[in-house]
Structure 1
Amino acid sequence: MGISLRAAKLEDAGVINDIYNHFVNTCTCTWQESPSTIAEREAWMQQHDERYPVVVAVDDENGAVVGWGSLSSMSTRSGWRYTVEDSIYIHPAYQGRGIGRKMIAELIARAKKLGYRSVVGIISGDQPGSLGLHRAAGFEEVGRLRRAGEKLGRVLDAVYMQLEVRS
């Protein structure tokens, strides 16, 4: 099975939203509790210009978008302009096939090319897959907000992981 990565297009908004909303409804990897509408996803994508890329993973056999990743602004305050937050969501049927590793490597490469200093992952403490993915890519845990969130009846830590991509 081959997987290609490409820049997301606005017409990918529906499938990106479907993948994301699956996780909104079923797990703690996002702390969002209500599904996003297609209008919200399209607006989000329009805010993600070349400085804040969205990348999709495509199954080469059938052309289906099976995952996505993004770099987003860490804050609207200008002092944060050299730091971005990464997000990665892979369709459950495609997890465990190395797509996350491929996606995080692509996001790191794009962050370097765009001149960012750091990439940060804010990860639910009960998500060993995401924590391991980030560790394997060189991220280090730099902070933990204990019992900071709650979803699906569980109280959750927020783990801050950081990779410095330039000094």
Structure 2
Amino acid sequence: MSGVSVRPAERRDLEAITALYNHFVENTAVTFDVGAFTVKAREPWFAQFAADGPHRLFVAEREGAFAGYAGSMAFKAKKAYSTSVETTIYVAPVFAGAGVGKTLYERLFSALGREDVHRAYAGIALPNDGSIRFHRRFGFKEIGTYHEVGRKFGRYHDVTWFEKRL
């Protein structure tokens, strides 16, 4: 997409990453965190990512502005799960539908294609038709739903899990 650049995340990006994530924490049920984070509180989360390997974090900028991030994290802590990753992606609302998410995921999956990763998983809190369509375009297939697994804003939400073979 013209005007979108993607690069590995750096520590200097953590403030923008945290601000974007806090927007979704405070205004949506797409994440089940219920309180905003400080940058310091997000440092342990950020520390899980590496410059190479299966646990990566990329940021996007569009016309010089921070536009979003996408990453891959450990699916589960046990060693037998090491070839599976969980993905995450957040795009600034002002850039929704502008190709930022597509560019981020293309870069993420290109990097994962060079790693010893067999499967990618994405959990999508419902309702979220846009995210479901987006993940299906990237080859994710629905594998099951946890019903009423999280409560936020006074109501229960389902999470549907998607899987992508790498």
Q: TM-score range by the shorter chain?
A: over 0.9
Cα pair 1:120 1:162 within 8 Å, conserved: yes
Counterpart residue type for residue 53 of structure 1? R
Instruction: Give the ranges of 4+ consecutive aligned residues of structure 1 lying more than 3 Å apart after TM superposition.
Output: none
1:147 is matched with which residue?
148
| Aligned counterparts of 1:140 and 1:106: Cα–Cα separation in 2 | 20
2:109 is matched with which residue?
108
| Aligned counterparts of 1:86 and 1:15: Cα–Cα separation in 2 | 19
1:34 is matched with which residue?
35
| Aligned counterparts of 1:152 and 1:108: Cα–Cα separation in 2 | 33
Counterpart residue type for residue 59 of structure 2? V
| Aligned counterparts of 1:148 and 1:109: Cα–Cα separation in 2 | 32
1:1-150 aligned at under 5 Å gives the runs 2-49=3-50, 50-51=52-53, 52-59=55-62, 61=63, 63-150=64-151
How much has 1:143 moved relative to structure 2?
Answer: 1.0
After superposition, the CA RMSD in angstroms is: 1.1
How much has 1:30 moved relative to structure 2?
Answer: 0.7
Q: Deviations over 1:102-135 (max 9, x none)?
A: 2122222222211200010011121111111101
State the number of aligned residues: 163
Structure 1: state its 5+ residue gaps: none
- When normalised by structure 2's length, the TM-score is 0.94
Cα pair 2:148 2:156 within 8 Å, conserved: yes
Cα pair 2:67 2:100 within 8 Å, conserved: no
